[in-house]
């Protein structure tokens, strides 16, 4: 259940705003939670990112930590995106002893991110029309 008491798929979190995604990623050397912003129109993408910047202090109060903000980043396919993320290094999905730490890292951050989104997603509704 999410912060609004609704069922949720944590791995494939739906923000309902095209171009704004919440992602989790676990690899051989790290785990990561991110807000990924991508839009075919770069000017719309910048506006989305800038809207998050307006909420930076508020977002970080929900997250209880500072995340890394990157206006111009690139995905695995070389597509330009914007990201807001946090990474836990020196862990591996392939080391079973790391699993409790990975799960706790991902769970805590996704729950906090969901609380922020449930409380403030209305401020991003304008992007549904773009």
pLDDT in tens, 41-66: 999 999 999 999 999 999 999 999 99
Model confidence, pTM? 0.90
Residue 99, in any domain of the structure: yes
Tally of domains in the chain: 1
Residue 25, in any domain of the structure: yes
Residue 2, in any domain of the structure: no
Structure tokens at 111: 């729950």
The 10 Å Cβ neighbour count of residue 83 is 21
pLDDT in tens, 80-122: 999 999 999 999 999 999 999 999 999 999 999 999 999 999 9
Residue 24, in any domain of the structure: yes
Name the residue range of residue 70's domain.
Answer: 20-127
Instruction: Specify the DSSP class assigned to residue 26.
Output: E
Structure tokens at 81: 């995106």
Collapsing DSSP states into helix, strand and coil, what is residue 29? coil
Residue 6, in any domain of the structure: no
Between CA 102 and CA 71 the distance in angstroms is 26
Structure tokens at 63: 């997250």
């Amino acid at each position: 259940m999410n912060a609004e008491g609704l069922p949720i798929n944590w791995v494939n979190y739906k923000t309902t705003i095209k171009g704004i995604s919440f992602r989790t990623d676990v690899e051989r050397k790290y785990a990561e939670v991110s807000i990924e912003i991508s839009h075919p129109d770069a000017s719309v993408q910048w506006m989305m990112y800038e809207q998050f910047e307006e909420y930076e202090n508020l977002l970080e109060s929900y997250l209880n930590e500072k995340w890394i903000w990157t206006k111009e980043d690139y995905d695995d396919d070389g597509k330009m995106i914007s990201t807001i993320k946090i990474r836990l290094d020196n862990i591996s999905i392939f080391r079973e002893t790391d699993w409790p730490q990975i799960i706790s890292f991902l769970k805590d951050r996704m729950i906090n991110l969901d609380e922020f989104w449930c409380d403030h997603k209305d401020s991003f509704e304008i992007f549904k029309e773009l």
